[in-house]
Amino acid sequence: MGSVGRFAPSPTGDLHYGSLIAAVGSWLDAKSSPGGHWLLRIDDLDTARVRADSEASILATLNAFGFEWPQPLWRQSTRLERYHEALGHLKRRIPLFHCQCSRRQLAAEGEACCVGNCRTLQCDPRESALRADLSGLDPLVTHDRSLGEARFDPAVHSDVIVRRRDGVFAYQFAVVIDDADQSVTDVVRGADLLESTPWQLGLLQALGLRVPRYLHLPLVVEADGQKLAKSRHAVKVGDTDVVQRLREVLRDLQQTEVPAEIREPQELLEIAATQWQPERFKGVREIRLPPNP
C-alpha cells in the first residue's frame, strides 16, 4: 500500500489560498506514491466557530479544483464516542489531571503547560480543563521533511490539554486519534502547525501509536508578513481561473510547470503528482503574497 495523506479543514469559513496550498501539497504528496491515497476529513469539533454553510462551500471548492476523495466523509463531530474510548485508554497509560489555569494566566507566563499546582489540587471538573501528564514519557525526535527536527521533550512539554474547559475534545488529542484510525502515513500541512508536532508526538507515544512522517508546507502570508487575510485571497467556488490558480500554487511550491495545453484541473493535478519534488521548497517557512495593487 502506498502513502496515505489527508487534508482536514475546519468549516469556519471559505477555503482561502493558504488552505488551497495545503490541499494541493497533501494531495500531490500522497498521489506521488504508487498506490497512494488522499483522504478528506472535516475537523468540526469546535462547534462555536463552525459556520453552517462553510462545509458545503469547502466541498464545492475542492470539487471545482479537481479533487476527489473516498466516501463516506469523516467528520470529527460524529466521532465523540471514539474520543471518549481513546481517553479511557490514555488514562490507563498515563496520569490525567484537571487544570484550572485560565487562558490569561497561561498567556501571562507564555506557557502552554499548567503553570499552577493543579496536579495536586482537586479542581472542579466542571470548571477546569483535563490535561494529560506527559512528564514521565521518553524524549522523542522526528524529522520534518522540510523544516528539520521536531522534538518532544517531557521536561518542556510536560502536559497538554486533551479536553477543554467547555467539554470539547482538544485538537491535539483528536487529530492523533483520527490520523491513526485512518492509517495516515504522511501528515502534510502548513508550517503554522509545526509547533503542534511535539505535543502530538507526546500523545502518540502515550497512546502507543505509530508516528507518521511530517511535511510542513510554507505558510502563505501577506506582503507585510501578517497572517493571510481571507477576504482578499479567498478561493471562490465557480471561479473560471481554477487552472491558473493551481498553476500559481505549483509555482509558489517551486514545482515543475505543467504544459500550458493542460486545461482541466484534475489532469493538471495528476501530471503534477508525477513531478512532485518537495525538496524544492526545503527550509522555506513562508510564501509572501504581492501587495494589494
Q: Is residue 119 domain-resident? A: yes
Least confident range from 43-47, 89-93, 180-184, 233-237: namely 233-237
Q: Is residue 26 domain-resident? A: yes
| Per-residue pLDDT tens digits for 247-290 | 999 999 999 999 999 999 999 999 999 999 999 999 999 999 88
Cα separation, 281 vs 256, whole angstroms: 12
* DSSP one-letter string for 159-178: EEEEE-TTSPBPHHHHHHHH
Cα separation, 277 vs 253, whole angstroms: 9
Cα separation, 270 vs 279, whole angstroms: 19
The label of the residue with cell 502515513 reads: 185
Q: Which of 163, 165, 9 is nearest to 76 (CA)?
A: 9
**Phi and psi at residue 14, to the nearest 5°:** -70, 160
Q: Is residue 184 domain-resident? A: yes
| Per-residue pLDDT tens digits for 94-148 | 999 999 999 999 998 889 999 999 999 999 999 999 999 999 999 999 999 999 9
Cα separation, 233 vs 71, whole angstroms: 29
Range of the domain at 39: 4-288
Least confident range from 10-19, 180-189, 227-236: namely 227-236
- Polymer length of the chain: 293
Cα separation, 191 vs 286, whole angstroms: 8
**What CATH code is carried by the domain that includes residue 197?**
3.40.50.620
Q: Is residue 293 domain-resident? A: no
Q: How many domains does the chain have?
A: 1
Q: Is residue 240 domain-resident? A: yes
Q: Is residue 175 domain-resident? A: yes
| Per-residue pLDDT tens digits for 194-234 | 999 999 999 999 999 999 999 999 999 888 888 775 545 55
CA quadruple 115, 117, 119, 122: dihedral positive or negative? negative
State yes or no: cis peptide before 72, omega within 30 of 0: yes
Q: Which of 144, 185, 181 is nearest to 36 (CA)?
A: 185
The secondary structure of the chain in percent helix, strand, coil, rounded to multiples of 5, reads 35, 20, 45
Q: What is the pTM of this model?
A: 0.94
